[in-house]
Chain A
Amino acid sequence: GNSVTQMEGPVTLSEEAFLTINCTYTATGYPSLFWYVQYPGEGLQLLLKATKADDKGSNKGFEATYRKETTSFHLEKGSVQVSDSAVYFCALNIGYGQNFVFGPGTRLSVLP
């Protein structure tokens, strides 16, 4: 079946630190990959996506590269801000009406 695994949280960083949140997946086909972010009290918002191998998604300073050989889609940011504190979800979609499969989420806290 299709599944997503993320690194366990919570992750606590100081402002301007480098962030990596690991994500690996198992899929029966060729999925599209997504990172969603959930700020406190809000729903999930798309952060970035990649649709095929070696694609890099980027948004708001965050990046993730679709690595087919390692079935990974790790999220990175060079310098985090307090406003980046949220829960980050890695997800995949195998397509043609299939539902999205989400990872368990990783809570990030950035301290000033």
Chain B
Amino acid sequence: EPEVTQTPSHQVTQMGQEVILRCVPISNHLYFYWYRQILGQKVEFLVSFYNNEISEKSEIFDDQFSVERPDGSNFTLKIRSTKLEDSAMYFCATRMDRAATNEKLFFGSGTQLSVL
């Protein structure tokens, strides 16, 4: 089965620093998502991205967050000035067809972000 690849698997950073999390979507997928999961808590939606622009974002996705697909392959999540509460597992997910309700999401294995 095709895979979504995320790097790095673990990222440790100091509070206030910028981090960039990277995702390589499945090649023919068009719709991209970032989710996060704080340890022991639910999976939370951050943002969705289609046709090189944000389609939807949650209230978590404030001005400190941004996404882009700079080279047509990597899909990145940037946190400009990390806070302690940003510590979480960040998952990239992709799907092929945005219009199909039954089209499943393919998830990457996640990046564990630890803000010290």
Chain A residues close to B by CB (< 8 Å): 30-32, 34, 36, 41-46, 49, 51, 89, 93-105
Chain B residues 64-105 with CB under 8 Å of chain A are: 91, 93, 98-102, 104-105
With the chains together, A69 CA to B93 CA distance in Å? 31
Choice from A89, A95, A101, A104 contacting B45 with Cβ under 8 Å: A101
Chain B residues positioned under 8 Å from A49 (CB to CB): 102, 104
Give the Cβ gap from B7 to chain A, nearest Cβ, in Å: 13
Would B45 and A100 count as touching, CB distance under 8 A? yes
Would A32 and B55 count as touching, CB distance under 8 A? no
Chain A residues positioned under 8 Å from B105 (CB to CB): 44, 46, 100
Would A99 and B33 count as touching, CB distance under 8 A? yes
Would A51 and B56 count as touching, CB distance under 8 A? no
How extensive is the interface on chain B, given as a class? 20 to 34
Q: A43-B91, A43-B109, A45-B107 are in contact. Are A96 and B98 (CB under 8 A)?
A: yes
Would A32 and B42 count as touching, CB distance under 8 A? no
Tell me whether B28 is interfacial, beta carbon within 8 Å. no
Q: A32-B102, A97-B99, A99-B48 are in contact. Are A44 and B56 (CB under 8 A)?
A: no
Would B33 and A44 count as touching, CB distance under 8 A? no
Choice from A42, A44, A96, A98 contacting B43 with Cβ under 8 Å: A44
Tell me whether B110 is interfacial, beta carbon within 8 Å. yes
Chain B residues positioned under 8 Å from A45 (CB to CB): 107
Other than A95-B101, A96-B99, A104-B41, give 12 A-B pairs with Cβ distance below 8 A.
Answer: A41-B109, A43-B4, A43-B108, A44-B91, A96-B101, A97-B31, A97-B55, A97-B98, A98-B56, A99-B58, A101-B45, A102-B35
Chain A residues positioned under 8 Å from B102 (CB to CB): 32, 49, 51, 93
Would A99 and B56 count as touching, CB distance under 8 A? yes
Chain B residues positioned under 8 Å from A41 (CB to CB): 109
With the chains together, A40 CA to B18 CA distance in Å? 28
Would A95 and B107 count as touching, CB distance under 8 A? no
With the chains together, A51 CA to B103 CA distance in Å? 10
Chain A residues positioned under 8 Å from B43 (CB to CB): 44, 89, 102, 105
